[in-house]
C-alpha cells in the first residue's frame, strides 16, 4: 500500500469527519438559542415542575461542549455533555414522538436528535485520550 492510501486509512480522519460536522451543527443550535433565548425551554421545564434556570444548561451542551470538541480539549467528556443535552432535548421536547414515523419521508420522527445523540456518544468513545 502506498503512503497516500495509508494516510487515508488513518482513524484520526474518520474521527474528525464525525466530530467536526456534528459539533458545528450542534453549535449552530446553540447560537440560535443565544440569539433567541431559552424561554421555550424554561416553559417546558416549568410544565414538568422543574426550575426554569435549568434551561441555561443548554448553553453548556450546545455551545461550550461543541467548542471543546472542535478544539480537541477534553473532547470525550464534552461529547458526553452533548449526548446528555440531547437526552434532555428528547425528553423535554420530543418525548411524544419516540415511536413516530415521519409520514412524508418514512424516516423516524427523531432521526436528527438520535443522530446527534449517538454521534456524540461515538465521539466520546473515539476521542483521543491523553496518556500520562
- pLDDT, one tens digit per residue, over 20-37 is 999 999 999 999 999 999
In a domain, 30, yes or no: yes
pLDDT tens sequence across 40-99: 999 989 988 999 999 999 999 999 999 999 999 999 999 999 999 999 999 988 888 877
Three-state DSSP at 73 gives coil
In a domain, 4, yes or no: no
Q: Could you give the CA distance from residue 86 to residue 46 in angstroms, rounded to a whole number?
A: 19
Give the count of domains, the chain.
1
Q: Could you give the CA distance from residue 121 to residue 30 in angstroms, rounded to a whole number?
A: 19
In a domain, 55, yes or no: yes
Q: Could you give the CA distance from residue 30 to residue 66 in angstroms, rounded to a whole number?
A: 9
In a domain, 5, yes or no: no
pTM value surpassing 0.85: yes
Neighbours of 50 (CB within 10 A): 13
In a domain, 31, yes or no: yes
Number of residues assigned to the chain: 132
> Is the sign of the CA dihedral 80, 83, 85, 91 positive or negative?
negative
Residue 130 has a pLDDT of 66
Three-state DSSP at 107 gives coil
Closest alpha carbon to 54 in 96, 92, 27:
92
Q: Could you give the CA distance from residue 115 to residue 121 in angstroms, rounded to a whole number?
A: 10
* Enclosing domain of residue 33: 10-126
Amino acid at each position: 500500500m502506498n503512503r497516500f492510501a495509508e494516510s487515508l486509512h488513518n482513524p484520526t480522519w474518520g474521527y474528525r469527519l464525525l466530530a467536526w460536522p456534528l459539533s458545528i451543527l450542534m453549535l449552530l443550535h446553540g447560537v440560535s438559542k443565544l440569539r433567541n433565548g431559552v424561554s421555550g425551554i424554561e416553559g417546558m421545564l416549568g410544565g414538568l415542575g422543574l426550575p426554569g434556570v435549568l434551561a441555561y444548561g443548554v448553553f453548556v451542551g450546545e455551545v461550550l461542549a461543541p467548542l471543546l470538541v472542535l478544539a480537541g480539549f477534553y473532547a470525550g467528556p464534552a461529547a458526553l455533555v452533548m449526548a446528555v443535552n440531547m437526552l434532555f432535548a428528547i425528553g423535554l421536547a420530543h418525548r411524544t414522538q419516540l415511536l413516530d414515523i415521519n409520514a412524508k419521508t418514512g424516516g423516524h420522527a427523531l432521526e436528527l436528535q438520535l443522530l446527534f445523540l449517538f454521534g456524540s456518544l461515538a465521539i466520546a468513545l473515539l476521542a483521543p485520550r491523553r496518556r500520562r
